């Protein structure tokens, strides 16, 4: 039975949407509005941590197996995806260098530079995820076992922050999911977590989103 990689696409959808929103969120922070810069900056920092953890899992648990098992793996594709990954990683380093200063000062000039980096990062990230979904995930279905895929999923779960922040992340993942995907994704979680999300977590996410998108 081939591995079903649907949940990876759902997670990618979240990264695509949230990184696309960030340039305008940063640009719209008024000069000196440190409270607003903290809201947006904390969100940005959490997304970067999540993306880094996501890519680390793929680098450690997925790519070595594919490179070992897929004799027909296109060298050009591998090189292109490695270049994309390096480009995104380089942009993350620049963002992380600017973020603390902008976070503390809400300086418009720093914010403009940060927004430009994030716009470029969103484009490059989409290119990387497009290739991954079109060319790599079909290979995963054929050459990665269910236990190996589960190990990658467990690695992803281990990077989700505890408490309210974790429910915000879960809510973001589910935002653009179809009704069927929502049921399936929640089904991957322990029953107590599903119940707490239904009773409290969904509201925590909704309020965090409203605060983030507030003018």
Using the predicted structure, report yes or no on whether residue 39 has a pLDDT greater than 90: yes
Lowest mean pLDDT, pick from 68-82, 139-153, 165-179: 68-82
What's the chain's average pLDDT?
94
pLDDT digits 0-9 by tens, 111-123: 999 999 999 999 9
Phi and psi, residue 26, nearest 5°: -70, -45
The pLDDT of residue 75: 82
Mean pLDDT of 44-72: 91
Mean pLDDT confidence for 193-206:
96
> Is residue 215 over pLDDT 80?
no
Model confidence band, residue 71 (pLDDT cutoffs 50, 70, 90): confident
Q: Is residue 81 over pLDDT 90?
A: no
Per the listing, tokens 């994309």 go with 84
> What's the pTM value of the predicted model, to 2 decimals?
0.94
Tokens of 41: 């900056």
Residue 213 has pLDDT above 90, yes or no: yes
| Displacement of CA 76 from its chain's centroid (Å) | 25
Nearest residue to 169 (alpha-carbon basis) of 55, 61, 45: 45
Place of tokens 């995806």: 81
171 against 74, higher pLDDT:
171
* Mean pLDDT calculated for residue range 116-140: 95
Nearest of 127, 125, 154, 121 to residue 7 by alpha carbon: 154
Mean pLDDT on 43-55: 95
Nearest to 4 by CA among 181, 158, 193: 181
Q: Is residue 1 over pLDDT 80?
A: no
Q: Please write down the long-range contacts of 72-79, taking CB distance under 8 Å and 24 or more positions apart.
A: 73/139, 74/135, 77/131, 77/135, 77/136
Section 184-192 average pLDDT: 94
Q: Does residue 212 register a pLDDT over 80? A: yes
49 half-sphere exposure, CB direction, 13 A CA radius? 14
């Amino acid at each position: 039975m081939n591995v079903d990689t649907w949940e990876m696409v759902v997670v990618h959808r979240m990264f695509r949407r949230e990184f696309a929103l960030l340039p305008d969120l940063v640009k719209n922070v008024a000069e000196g509005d440190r409270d607003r810069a903290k809201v947006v900056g904390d969100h940005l920092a959490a997304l970067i941590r999540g993306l880094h953890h996501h890519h680390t899992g793929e680098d450690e648990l997925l790519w070595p197996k594919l490179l070992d098992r897929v004799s027909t793996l296109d060298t050009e594709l591998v090189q292109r995806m490695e270049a994309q990954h390096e480009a995104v990683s380089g942009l993350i380093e620049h963002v992380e260098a600017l973020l603390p200063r902008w976070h503390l000062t809400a300086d418009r000039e720093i914010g403009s530079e940060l927004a430009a980096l994030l716009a470029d990062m969103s484009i490059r990230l989409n290119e990387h995820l497009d290739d991954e979904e079109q060319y790599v995930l079909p290979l995963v279905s054929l050459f990665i076992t269910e236990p190996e895929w589960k190990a990658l999923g467990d690695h992803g779960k281990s990077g989700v922050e505890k408490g309210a922040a974790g429910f915000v992340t879960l809510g973001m993942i589910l935002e653009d999911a179809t009704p069927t995907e929502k049921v399936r994704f929640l089904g991957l979680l322990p029953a107590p977590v599903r119940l707490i999300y239904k009773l409290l977590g969904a509201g925590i996410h909704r309020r965090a989103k409203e605060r983030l998108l507030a003018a």
